[in-house]
Amino acid sequence: LKAFERRLTEYIHCLQPATGRWRMLLIVVSVCTATGAWNWLIDPETQKVSFFTSLWNHPFFTISCITLIGLFFAGIHKRVVAPSIIAARCRTVLAEYNMSCDDTGKLILKPRPH
């Protein structure tokens, strides 16, 4: 059990830096998309021209929106929550052995049912 716990905590700990970078990238692209959308919506020319011309006139919004959509198609939503997915799957398996684990991978032994 100690070896399994050590390996699980090590694995989750190793995922944290990559997860932090993916979260930061997602935040930056989301803020850029929101800022671009705000500028796109408050532009008085947006209502007067066609949709595609409006997007052509606002390349910052268009590029950031395409980047955000591309990141979601690439699976950034899974990479952002990868450690919690691993912990949840481990909890499911460990429940059969009357155990659980926290989000860092530490094992939690539950009392035996009588």
Q: What is the pLDDT tens value at each position of the chain, 114 positions in all? A: 899 999 999 999 998 899 999 999 999 999 999 999 999 999 999 889 999 999 999 999 999 999 999 999 999 989 999 999 999 999 999 999 999 999 888 999 988 777
Ordered by start, the domain boundaries in the chain are 1-109
pTM of the model: 0.78
The C-alpha atoms of residue 57 and residue 39 are separated, in whole angstroms, by 11
